Amino acid sequence: MGAMEVTITSRLLKRLFKKIAVSKTNFYNNSPCWEWTAYRCEDGYGRSNFQGKCQNSHRVTYLAFIGPIPDGREIDHLCKVRHCVNPAHLEAITHAENVRRSESARPWTHCAQGHEMTPENTYVKGRRQKRSCRTCELARIARKRRENPEPFREKVRRYREANYEKVLAKGREYDRKRRERRKQAA
């Protein structure tokens, strides 16, 4: 397979950007990942039908925004987020380099999405004391909540019922503080 060239057209841009969301949680050097929101394969890579072939989506954005992939090179994700298609996070490297990078992959210093596992970002759960990434965990909960808000509302309702006095006291305390602030401002 020779070096493939892709010309950017309005149509291609429209097609691509319809399926891309700028990440709020995954970054590489302060630049957010472009998450592929359409079909994702089991290997975690985004896939799209392109020029009559099913291709990895990050390859398509690399070809479109950076240029042909030199023969024998593989595209590596600098951000380690497989479904990211941000061309600034992609690098065409040799197979040997790719192997070296994946062997020295950061298993415990970073989560699968590439967030650094600092003490603040590490969340220990369950009896097995499994470490997980707080950023990812919070994003997962927020997603679940967006998709299905009712159980969360129910939880809040139950908490309020069970801790009626506490919630009431807290509300009174809040009102008292607000009155005080107003008095001071006046």
Binding residues for Zn ion (CB under 5 A):
33, 79, 81, 84, 86, 89, 111, 113, 115, 133, 135-136
Please say whether the beta carbons of 15 and 6 come within 8 A.
Answer: no
Nearer to Zn ion, 36 or 50 (CB): 36
Nearer to Zn ion, 63 or 84 (CB): 84
| 14, 152, 172 from 175: Cα distances, Å | 51, 26, 5
Q: How far apart are the first and last CA of the chain?
A: 76
- Output the six-digit token pair for 112: 């699968």
Least Å distance, CB 169 to Zn ion, is: 37
Nearer to Zn ion, 11 or 20 (CB): 20
Least Å distance, CB 156 to Zn ion, is: 26
Nearer to Zn ion, 6 or 85 (CB): 85
Least Å distance, CB 59 to Zn ion, is: 14
What residues have CB less than 8 Å from 97, skipping those under 6 apart? 76
Nearer to Zn ion, 124 or 167 (CB): 124
- For residues 101 and 40, give the distance between their C-alpha atoms in angstroms, rounded to a whole number: 23
- Output the six-digit token pair for 49: 């039908």
Please say whether the beta carbons of 117 and 110 come within 8 A.
Answer: yes
Three-class SS of residue 93?
Answer: strand
What kind and span of H or E run contains 56?
Answer: strand 53-56
Least Å distance, CB 25 to Zn ion, is: 7
Least Å distance, CB 2 to Zn ion, is: 28
